[in-house]
Every structure is written in C-alpha cells, then in structure tokens.
Amino acid sequence: MKIANSFYQSNEYVAGSLVNFAQNVTLEKPIQIFDAHNIFDFIEIKHPYHPKNPAFLILKKGKVIFTENLNRIELAENYVALIDSRKVYEILEISNDLEIFLVAFDREYTEKLPLKINRLNAFIYFRNELIRHFQLTNSQFEKIWKNVDLLKNILESEDFTTHHDEIIRHLFSSVVYQFGETVSKNSDFSKQKISRKQELVLHFLKNVGEHFLEEKQVDFYAKQQFITSRHLSAVLKEVTGNTAGQVIAAFIMKEAKAQLSSSEKSLYEISMDLKFSDQYSFGHFFKKNSGESPNAYRKRFKS
C-alpha cells in the first residue's frame, strides 16, 4: 500500500530521528503495544501530525517510509526506531507484509522507572542523540523482538498475578535498556562516517527543531555551534541546497499543517502557538509558502 504525500526533500545522508506513529487519543494504559493487525487504528496516514506519546518501533519485516520534520526516512527489515512526540511526521508508504511492534508509552511512566541511565530520563537520553533509527543484526534484533513479544503477552494476559505490575515494569525497563545500548553503540559509529559540514547541518536541524518557534534568526543557530552566520548559511546551501531561512520556514510549515489538519484550534490560536504577531501575518506566511490559505488547506481534511 502506498500513500502519496508531498514532503520537504532533504539530502539522503541527513539522518532522521524517530518514526511518528501515534494516536489521537490518550493511551488507555501507561504502555500499549500495537502490531500489524491493529496499527491502522493507531496511526494517521493522510496528513502531517504530532504523536500523542513517545514510542519504540520494531520492524521485523516489510517497509515503512515517512518524514520526520524535514527528513525522509526509510525503514526495512530488522530496523528499530524511536518516536518523539514533539516532532511532526507524515507517513508516505507502508508495505502490506508488515511484521511490526509499536510500543507506545506515557513519558511520565518512564520518569518513574528506576533506570540507571546517566541522563534525566530515558526519553531525554534518546531524543538528544542525532541518530535514532538503526538496522540491527539478526541476533541483536531477535533479542529485542522476543522481549517485546513477551511484554505484549503479559500486557494482554487476563491471568493477573500478585506481581503483575512489577513484571511489566521490569520487562519494559529491559526494552529501554536494549534501546539505550543500541543508541550508544550505533551513534558513535554513525557520527564517524559523516563530514564536518554534514555534522554542522545535523546539529542545525536538531537545534531548529527544538527552537524554531522562539528563534527564527540564523545568528542564534550559528552561535550554538560557535561559527558565524555567514559560514553556517554557506554550509547549508552547499549541503542541502536551501538557505537557513527556507529550512526554518519549512519547520514552521510542518507544524502549521499538523495543527490545521488534526486539531480544532482556531486560526488565531494557531497563529499565537507559532509566535506570529497576528492571524493576518500567519495567513500571509502560510500562503506564501504553500500557495493556498490556511482555511483552504484545513478544508481538505474536514468531512
């Protein structure tokens, strides 16, 4: 099955971060695991959107192609990926032969786990890495797959034992540790294969993703990497073919489209969320970058 959507083209070596499969409703439980049989009850496929919860994705078979903010990401056999609920995603293609687990969880749940990871919590640890999707060897992948399969069986079991909740916490914690080890081993290796210019672009995209609502000036992002605005702009143009301003505008457009298509917020509320001075300024910006008004875009997703 293919889903045709337009997306912002970025260079193939600009690594993406997390897969965005998430629901429009709050999780019924702190942890829920979805597979190929019910994943379409959980994901959105026709427009950009934010996930409600972070998650782990484990793809045993098939293919999934999506955009995460400005990055095009393709996952295939034995891939694992991390989902960040702060980012905007758009699914482009999903094959019919999926074997997949999606472990969605409440962020507050992870913060209460007694994890021995040298960060504030596991979610922050994962999202601060530049590379967050990896293809594993068969043996590495099978360890994670079997662990998640066992966790899914326990979650769905009606045979509640005295220590049911503790078993779930420990199994989920082991999944977190497995992903943490995967990130730790693969991130350093991946960074060795990119050039200094590519690394500058990766950091720029990461910083823009975190600050584009409050900071729209190139100088801010240049200072984050201790370089001049002129040098940063030159590198961006060389590597991506786009100016810094175009990249920042693309982030804003992704966020705007997500809110217009999947929320009931008024145009004024969205304008304020995106830090525009007024609704008119937002409308002018949106039409300049998309060729249509915010209302016209929103009507395409309303029945």
One pLDDT digit (tens) per residue for the chain, 303 residues:
443 332 233 322 222 333 333 333 456 688 999 999 998 877 888 888 888 888 899 999 999 999 988 888 999 999 999 888 888 889 999 999 999 999 999 878 877 777 775 433 444 444 544 557 889 999 999 999 999 999 999 999 877 777 888 999 999 999 988 887 887 776 654 555 668 888 888 889 888 988 999 998 899 999 999 999 999 989 998 988 888 888 999 999 999 999 998 888 999 999 999 999 999 999 999 999 999 999 999 998 875
How long, in residues, is the chain? 303
Residue 274: DSSP 8-state: T
- Which domains, and CATH codes, for the chain? 31-191 (2.60.120), 196-299 (1.10.10.60)
Calpha distance 116→129 (Å, rounded):
18
Angle at the Cα of 103 from the Cα atoms of 155 and 101, rounded to 5 degrees: 95
Calpha distance 146→152 (Å, rounded):
10
This prediction's pTM = 0.70
Strand order in 64-68's β-sheet? 71-75, 64-68, 89-94
Calpha distance 285→69 (Å, rounded):
18
